[in-house]
Chain A
């Protein structure tokens, strides 16, 4: 117990030191780097250090505390970014949930039918090579054609679908490897007890897959967030962090410090997602003996 606490303190200290080092590097370069940048033959190799290209970290922080516009009811930038994060995180987790269900389902099919594994696995790999920006408008178009009764497809649903499209892949691969991870001796033991396929799944394969599934879920969560942000940029979905990145970047030269807040927000979102998945993992820790610490 003492040892893990010490480890944790060390991890926190190292993490903080990393962030501080990055901040220090930024400010040092800004102070001593060439103002107009430096390059060879018109190709800039060292970035500019003027206030438009590299605002001071202090200016970025100060900007987040100020209201966005001069309108009387304007919210401060940090609140807008935070609301954007919550909205995007919600969409991303919906995407992750769909992705996990689809991924585990596919893994089960591939586990049950060897033919399916041979037939489906290459397609799964191929599916991830489709560029997201090509896919996003298509999903919006297809979604727009869906309408039953009072239900009509909203754009954030397309974003969730795109997020799930990225998230399902690591989950499917991880789950399949996990389901196949029990040793032959264990499956044969089950066999000798005359236990059926489903029971073997629940008592042997599912618990054995946890050490593979959790890292896969963490990867899936990160993919879902990337998918959400990119899809929001692409479709201009209102409310999310992707849209804020574009909107704030529009005034990149006139209000440069502002553009960094949604980017910081996206980073925080990634951390939050990884944190939530880790907390889920705590509940499953008795199945995690063999998992490599990551």
Chain B
């Protein structure tokens, strides 16, 4: 009788394994794709820098509201990860478009990635240097003698340029501390000023209970240095396209214009319906809370709107400043983002202007001159 029990147990184990493997096949596949697979739609893959979050609200809104489909595109949004470099994915032809910060993408270009900025969605930089009120750090010059956190990995150049501009030597005048991608070092007092994105880590501080008061931290408890005001801001989230395909492939050129049109409509939706846009992002499976996503949508809107030239148009002065900082600002290792000025293929306004022109004739507000941000109340933990 014994062998049969063993056989049963063995079979049960095999069955459990098989069931698990099947579940792996079925649970992991629901990707963010517009499900209708009618043959007429052009498949397009968009690679993001990170997981689904409201930083990308416009793209998810365009997907959910069917703006991509209206343009005849079947868009799949590929989420990022810690080791996914969007511009590399794009250069390797595994995505048709990618979202990336301009300095990081320029560094990849210099190493041979054939990519072109076709839409500068964020007109302003979202990077801050945050400190507690009592440390009294309100400008880059005040960082002198302080413990300054930074993320490294190419996220630090605005900070270094800002300190250099304030006549500080980053190697001598401050103590630089490599910072995790959360703000615990600032909250525990290990560092005096921490790097934070206004739409993410800054909000996380405001979602944390202040042990001194038993309430959440308030904006009035904090000081921020805004690199847009210090004059060393660099352009961030932009839409990058494949340079080679852009120059030779007529269909890809047309797709680019259609894609940009839908993206613009998505961001306009996020501007006019921040709550609904945040809800859309939540529906795509973000694990960050709903109040956090609403905050993020609102802050991202502030980085985009108003866009006097029209959303996505690359402003030559901003571009020049970004390239200047990228060439001049040295980090602790003494290296710059890029060593020489990028060639003329690095950006083009051709496609975004075409997209804006088509939308303007449909009476769509593409500048957001009357944009007013909303007030968002953050819950503890962003819930």
User: Is the pairing of A and B real?
Assistant: yes
Complex CA gap A71/B27 in Å reads 22
Complex CA gap A249/B27 in Å reads 23
Complex CA gap A235/B290 in Å reads 25
Cβ–Cβ contact B379 & A276, under 8 A: no
Cβ–Cβ contact A50 & B188, under 8 A: yes
Cβ–Cβ contact B182 & A252, under 8 A: yes
Q: Tell me whether A31 is interfacial, beta carbon within 8 Å.
A: no
Complex CA gap A144/B76 in Å reads 14
B184 partner residues in chain A, CB cutoff 8 A: 52-53, 252-253
A: number of interface residues (CB 8 Å):
60
B247 to chain A, nearest CB (A): 23
Cβ–Cβ contact A91 & B28, under 8 A: yes
Cβ–Cβ contact A144 & B89, under 8 A: yes
Cβ–Cβ contact A254 & B6, under 8 A: no
Complex CA gap A86/B17 in Å reads 11
Q: Tell me whether A291 is interfacial, beta carbon within 8 Å.
A: no
B238 to chain A, nearest CB (A): 21
Cβ–Cβ contact A236 & B289, under 8 A: no
A215 partner residues in chain B, CB cutoff 8 A: none
Cβ–Cβ contact B285 & A238, under 8 A: yes
The SS class assigned to the A binding surface is: helix
Q: Tell me whether A48 is interfacial, beta carbon within 8 Å.
A: yes
Q: Tell me whether B334 is interfacial, beta carbon within 8 Å.
A: no
Closest to B7 in A: A283
Give residues of chain B (20-55) contacting chain A, Cβ–Cβ below 8 Å: 20-25, 27-31, 50-51
Query: Which bracket fits the contact residues of B?
Result: 35 or more
Closest to B203 in A: A254
A292 to chain B, nearest CB (A): 20
Cβ–Cβ contact A94 & B287, under 8 A: no
Give residues of chain A (57-98) contacting chain B, Cβ–Cβ below 8 Å: 68-71, 80, 83, 86-87, 89-91, 93-94, 97
Q: Tell me whether B383 is interfacial, beta carbon within 8 Å.
A: yes
A64 to chain B, nearest CB (A): 14
Give residues of chain A (96-145) contacting chain B, Cβ–Cβ below 8 Å: 97, 133, 136-137, 140-141, 144-145
Most chain A CB neighbours (cut-off 10 Å) among B13, B14, B282? B13
Cβ–Cβ contact A251 & B288, under 8 A: yes
Cβ–Cβ contact A69 & B27, under 8 A: no
- Interface residues, chain A, with chain B CB atoms under 8 Å away: 36, 48, 50-53, 68-71, 80, 83, 86-87, 89-91, 93-94, 97, 133, 136-137, 140-141, 144-145, 154-156, 160, 233-240, 243-244, 246-255, 258, 276, 279-280, 282-286
14 pairs of residues in contact across A and B, judged by CB atoms under 8 Å: A52-B188, A70-B290, A91-B24, A91-B28, A93-B24, A133-B83, A141-B88, A235-B83, A236-B84, A237-B28, A243-B51, A246-B51, A282-B6, A283-B11
Contacts A145-B92, A234-B83, A251-B207 supplied; 9 other A-B pairs, CB < 8 Å? A36-B189, A71-B290, A156-B28, A234-B82, A248-B287, A251-B204, A251-B288, A280-B14, A283-B6
